[in-house]
């Protein structure tokens, strides 16, 4: 559980570790049950129903006004919008 907490970047108390370990064990038991289901003749699929391409065509449209966008951005520098860092160097 310590390794999973580190990957998730969360701090867990000992009580939470015990609680979540039990829940994780229950989930893994369900996976074992699913493994025992006979899947002969069942085609693999990503969706229960057919999925069709519902995306619009990738066609260029009118460009957005950079200066107007930078005016409403929380922070900007050198014609770029500044955003909070989401990746650290520890990874």
3-state secondary structure 12-77: CCHHHHHHHHHHHHHHHHHHHHHHCCCCCCCCCCCCCCCCCCCCCCCCCCCCCCHHHHHHHCCCEE
The structural domain count of the chain equals: 1
pLDDT at position 81: 93
Question: Residue 20 sits in which domain range?
Answer: 1-36
Asked if the structure places residue 9 within a domain, the reply is yes
pLDDT at position 67: 92
pLDDT at position 91: 55
Asked if the structure places residue 19 within a domain, the reply is yes
pLDDT at position 69: 92
18-70 per-position pLDDT tens digit? 999 989 889 999 999 999 999 899 888 888 888 787 788 888 999 889 999 99
pLDDT at position 4: 87
pLDDT at position 90: 67
């Amino acid at each position: 559980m310590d390794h999973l907490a580190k990957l998730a970047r969360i701090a867990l108390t000992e009580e939470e570790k015990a609680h979540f370990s039990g829940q994780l064990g229950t989930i893994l038991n369900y996976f074992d049950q699913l493994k025992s289901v006979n899947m002969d003749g069942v085609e693999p699929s990503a969706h229960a129903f057919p999925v069709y391409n519902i995306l619009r065509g990738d066609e260029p449209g009118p460009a957005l006004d950079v200066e107007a966008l930078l005016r409403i951005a929380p922070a900007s520098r050198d014609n770029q919008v500044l955003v909070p860092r989401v990746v650290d160097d520890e990874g």
